[in-house]
Amino acid sequence: MSVTINVNGKPMQVEPGLTVEGLLTLLNVKREYTAVAVNREITSKATYATVTLSEGDKVEIVRPMGGG
Amino acid sequence: MWDTNLVLGGKEFTSRLIVGTGKYSSMDVMRDAHEASGTEIITVAVRRVSLPSGESILDYIDTKRYTLLPNTAGCYSADEAVRTCYLAREAGLGEMVKLEVIGDQRTLFPDVIGLLEATRTLAREGFTVMPYTNDDPIMAKKLQDAGAACVMPLGAPIGSGLGIRNPYNIKIILESVTVPVIVDAGVGTASDAAIAMELGCDGVLMNTAIAGAQDAVSMAKAMKLAVEAGRLAYKSGRIGKKLYATASSPLEGLPDWTS
């Protein structure tokens, strides 16, 4: 059994109960200079290990890119 | 030292040139251009991580040396811009933000109503807000009153390279506000940057003029010199403009060649 979440605009099947921390590890995302929002709410780094992802959650993972 | 420092959000900067990280031909060129520009503040965009996650732009920016200035480019509402600033802060990019609320895709002119609203919200939340605005003195004053740490009027549309299209408005903005005035957008070449500084602006922000030049590193050096030259000329107090000539050499003591 798995749940479908949306990560940076793309659907992704994950295990139920997966945390933000677990997702970042799964995707091999560096923590430094990275921020996460779940359903438009910003997730503070301190809560990565406790926030779990549910069916239909929209996750945005951002970091600095080139810009002016 | 012949000049005072540029102060933004309580932080002092010697360089008055702010540069970007977009559109460089390579990361190595970008790093060398930053070095050549003498800048102390570098703008970055905040975007989705590309997955799988690879190289980061910050591998090419010494964050101990440069202050990062996250922007809200691509935001078309105050709400999006404010959320982007919160994301940037959570990402550890600091509380100094280049605030953009864009009104139109073709011109990239600011939506000043959304900009004012976002400035008010972010200033209240403790951000050092640097709003990209149009060259309107009334709006500049409103942004200052809303808590902006500086105002950043455009010289011309973003990436256009058209230079300072309305120097008279920039001049009135300088008289209208007490916060620093930084020309943001429109600079095409060194003389444009020098003109901004000669008008009395406190700094210039640019990206495309350097990143898009055939030799970005030498253009970065040219911009550094232009900003310094313009600033020095402004501080020196230029002569007035006159229609007719005034001789530089004395009129007395000319030899008499008449026979």
* A37 inside 8 A of chain B by CB: yes
According to the model, what pLDDT value does residue B1 have? 52
How much of chain B is helix, strand and coil, in % rounded to 5?
A: 35, 15, 45
With an 8 Å Cβ cutoff, is A45 touching chain B? Answer: yes
- Residues B73-89: tens digit of each pLDDT: 999 999 999 999 999 99
Evaluate if residue A4 carries a pLDDT over 90: yes
Contact B116, B102 (CB under 8 A): no
Instruction: Tell which of B19, B24, B90 to mutate to test the A interface (max A CBs under 10 Å).
Output: B90
CA distance B46 to B74: 10
What is the residue whose two structure tokens read 């980061």? B56
Q: For B90, which residue in chain A has the nearest alpha carbon? A: A35
d(CA B191, CA B155) in angstroms, rounded, equals 13
Q: Which of B131, B152, B140 minimizes the C-alpha distance to B204? A: B152
pLDDT score of A6: 97
Where do the DSSP E strands lie in chain A?
3-7, 10-14, 35-38, 41-43, 58-66
Residue B200 confidence (pLDDT) above 90: yes
Do A66 and B44 count as a contact with CB atoms less than 8 A apart?
yes
Q: What is the pLDDT of residue B86?
A: 96
B21 or A31, greater pLDDT: B21
**A26 has a chain B CB within 8 A of its CB:** no
Q: Beta partners for A45?
A: none
From chain B, the residues in CB contact with A9 under 8 A are: 48
Among B87, B207, B211, the residue with its CB nearest the CB of A62 is B87
CA distance B113 to B192: 28
Chain segment B10-65, per-residue pLDDT in tens? 999 999 999 999 999 999 999 999 999 999 999 999 999 987 666 789 999 999 99
Q: Residue B53: its pLDDT value, please? A: 66
Is B98 annotated as catalytic? yes
The reported pLDDT for the residue numbered A41 is 93
- The CA-atom distances, in angstroms, between A42 and each of A24, B49, B87, B96, B256 are 15, 15, 7, 18, 86
B2 pLDDT above the threshold of 80: no
> Mean pLDDT, to the nearest integer, of B172-199?
98
Q: Which residues of chain A have a CB within 8 Å of the CB of B57? A: 64-66
Stretch B94-121: mean pLDDT: 97
| Of residues A7, A27, A64, nearest to B70 (C-beta) | A64
Q: How many CB atoms are located within 10 Å of the residue B108 CB? A: 18
Size of interface A-B (CB pairs under 8 A): 111
- ipTM score of complex: 0.92
**Residue B63 vs residues B5, B59, B92: alpha-carbon distances, Å:** 20, 9, 11
> Considering only CA atoms, which of A32, A68, A64 is closest in space to residue B21?
A68
Question: Band of the pLDDT at A1, cuts 50, 70, 90?
Answer: confident
The terminus-to-terminus CA distance of chain A in angstroms comes to: 44
- Give the pLDDT score at B259: 86
Residue-wise pLDDT tens digits, B130-185: 999 999 999 999 999 999 999 999 999 999 999 999 999 999 999 999 999 999 99
Q: With 60 as the cut, is the pLDDT of residue A52 above it?
A: yes
Whether B25 and chain A come into contact, CB under 8 Å, resolves to no
